[in-house]
Amino acid sequence: MSVLVKEPEAIMQSVQGFSEDTVRAHSAARNEPAWMLEFRLDAWRQFETMPWPSANDEAWRRTRLTGFDIANFKPLAVSSGTVEKAELSRLLQEEINEMDSAASMVFEDSSLRYSVFHAKLSECGVIFADLQSAVREHPDLVQKYFMTKAVKPGLNKFTALHAALWDTGTFVYVPAKARVTLPLQVILNQVSDGVGGYHHTLVVTEEGAEVTVVDDLLGAKDGMQASVVELVIGNSSVVRYMNLQDFDHSAWNFLTGRAVLGRDADLRWIQVSWGSRLTKAFLDVDLQGTGGHAELLGIYFPIGHQHIDHQTLQIHRAPHCFSDLLFNGALKDKSRSVYMGVIQVFPGAQKTDAYQRNGNLILDATARADSIPGLEIQADDVRCTHAATAAQVEEEYVFYLMARGLSRAQAERMIVQGFFQAVLDRVPVESVVHKLERVIERKIGG
């Protein structure tokens, strides 16, 4: 094909609709190697053969895609090149300034917009790159790990779409024994209205490596985002991952994330779902090596007509693993939340220690929270507990605090904040905690 005689922007401007041609044009515009084009085309074929989710699918029974039509979106945003920090929006500059990070990348629409790195990172052999460049510069590593170990393209309709059209993305590789003490910060801002976005996060750590990665997801007005998160965590490696989703309340958001843990690996995943019109998030931790430790912690706070759905899987394949899941959500107005979770213990995964808790604080009688916990246990020497609660603000708490001089509004705000505190206490980056507190404050007030 000779498409490269055109400018990439021109190629993408001419793209219309979701089709194999769009996939080819997208790959060509990015000057991708043949293997990536093949990978995309294969995923596209899978996407085309898979049916759209229907109400008959257990996973989609409580989250209907009423009003969702992929034909309503432009398949891809047109990228507009990199800029200096000062040219970023004030909001993004503040986000970068507030976090004491080892490196930052900002993506806007379908490409890298800005990045800043500390030189020390590469001296230690750490790769923190935008995925588009990594495909060219680290083909062996990307080919080995990209959608092969954690999330495969055929997992669901949206992962197939993602694999065919992924646009922005981060590749993090931390070699054995390397420790990145400050967080790596990634901001995705889907600026254009009504477009599809497919953000990818691929984190690979080798034995004993340590890293913290923060994904900030913004924008996507009237658009769609089908993102994938893959954490491939080596033996005795420690990973802290935060996915902070604060999309526009008109966005359709589909996230599939999975962490694969080696022996004695240690993961803490913080999932924050503030934004979007509708979110369906599949989040799995897959404990493949003995002695793994996984924490999956989530908070959500839908208001208005927002619909937020988290579906989790704690997979215990190996013995002596620990997993702790806590999802706490508050709901206002006519919002809805769904939590579905399964702890899966394979035969032989003895001495499994697994917890799963979902708490819902219903602030308005018109809001609704569904919680469906589950256990599938095929080993006999395990400890697994699950619990789900849905409650209103305790009047006795309110009275107690008012009897100390707090107004009703102050008391309720404090109780709601307190409800999120069990997760906030475990967020390892201080600037993130402050940001989350501000959003909670705003959501309670507005």
Partner 1 sequence: MSVLEIRNLHATVEDREILKGVNLTLRSGEIHALMGPNGSGKSTLAYVIAGHPHYEITDGDILIDGESILEMEPDERTKAGVFLAFQYPVAVPGVSVANFLRTAVSNVRGYTTRPVEAEGRSGVIGSNLMPMREFRRELTDKMKEFNVDPSFARRYLNDGFSGGEKKRTEVLQMAMLEPKFGILDESDSGLDIDALRVVSDGINKLATPDRGFLLITHYQRILNYVKPNYVSIFYGGRVVMTGGPEVAHMLEEKGYGWVEREFGEAVAA
User: Which residue's CB is nearer to partner 1, number 50 or number 406?
Assistant: 406
- Can residue 400 be called a binding residue for partner 1 (CB under 8 A)? yes
- Can residue 415 be called a binding residue for partner 1 (CB under 8 A)? yes
Work out how close the CB of 417 gets to partner 1 at its nearest, in angstroms, rounded to a whole number. 7
Q: Tell me how far apart the alpha carbons of residues 31 and 8 are, in angstroms, rounded to a whole number.
A: 9
- Can residue 388 be called a binding residue for partner 1 (CB under 8 A)? no
The correct pick among 419, 429, 432, 435 for binding partner 1 (CB under 8 A) is: 419
Tokens encoding 341: 């979770």
Work out how close the CB of 241 gets to partner 1 at its nearest, in angstroms, rounded to a whole number. 23
| Cα first-last separation, the chain | 53
Q: Tell me how far apart the alpha carbons of residues 133 and 319 are, in angstroms, rounded to a whole number.
A: 39
Interactions with partner 1, residue window 153-182 (CB under 8 A): none
- Can residue 86 be called a binding residue for partner 1 (CB under 8 A)? no
Work out how close the CB of 146 gets to partner 1 at its nearest, in angstroms, rounded to a whole number. 39
Range in contact with partner 1 (rule: CB under 8 A) among 50-58, 184-192, 319-327, 402-410: 402-410
- Can residue 327 be called a binding residue for partner 1 (CB under 8 A)? no
User: Which residue's CB is nearer to partner 1, number 123 or number 396?
Assistant: 396
Q: Tell me how far apart the alpha carbons of residues 207 and 294 are, in angstroms, rounded to a whole number.
A: 16
Range in contact with partner 1 (rule: CB under 8 A) among 74-82, 183-191, 252-260, 403-411: 403-411
- Return the residue matching tokens 């309340």: 249
- Can residue 441 be called a binding residue for partner 1 (CB under 8 A)? yes
- Can residue 37 be called a binding residue for partner 1 (CB under 8 A)? no
- How many residues bind partner 1 (CB under 8 A)? The answer is 25
User: Which residue's CB is nearer to partner 1, number 188 or number 361?
Assistant: 361
Q: Tell me how far apart the alpha carbons of residues 201 and 195 are, in angstroms, rounded to a whole number.
A: 19
Range in contact with partner 1 (rule: CB under 8 A) among 103-111, 166-174, 370-378, 414-422: 414-422
Work out how close the CB of 414 gets to partner 1 at its nearest, in angstroms, rounded to a whole number. 5
- Can residue 204 be called a binding residue for partner 1 (CB under 8 A)? no
Q: Tell me how far apart the alpha carbons of residues 51 and 65 are, in angstroms, rounded to a whole number.
A: 13
Cβ neighbors of 262 (< 8 A, separation 6 or more) are: 207, 233, 234, 235, 236, 237, 288, 289, 292
203 in Cβ contact with 169 (< 8 Å)? no
For residue 409, count CB atoms less than 10 angstroms from its CB and return exposed for 0-12, middle for 13-18, buried for 19 or more. exposed
Rg (CA), the chain: 21
Closest Cα to residue 282, out of 160, 403, 158?
158
User: Which residue's CB is nearer to partner 1, number 140 or number 396?
Assistant: 396
Work out how close the CB of 338 gets to partner 1 at its nearest, in angstroms, rounded to a whole number. 23
Enumerate the β-bridge partners of residue 373. 341
The correct pick among 89, 408, 430, 434 for binding partner 1 (CB under 8 A) is: 408
Q: Tell me how far apart the alpha carbons of residues 43 and 22 are, in angstroms, rounded to a whole number.
A: 13
Q: Tell me how far apart the alpha carbons of residues 19 and 27 are, in angstroms, rounded to a whole number.
A: 13
- Can residue 410 be called a binding residue for partner 1 (CB under 8 A)? yes
- Can residue 380 be called a binding residue for partner 1 (CB under 8 A)? no
Work out how close the CB of 420 gets to partner 1 at its nearest, in angstroms, rounded to a whole number. 7
Tokens encoding 159: 């992962």
Helix (H, G, I), strand (E, B) or coil at 400: helix
The DSSP H or E segment spanning 445 is: helix 430-445
User: Which residue's CB is nearer to partner 1, number 97 or number 407?
Assistant: 407
Tokens encoding 252: 């359709």
Interface contacts to partner 1, rule CB under 8 A = 394-397, 399-408, 410-411, 414-415, 417-422, 441
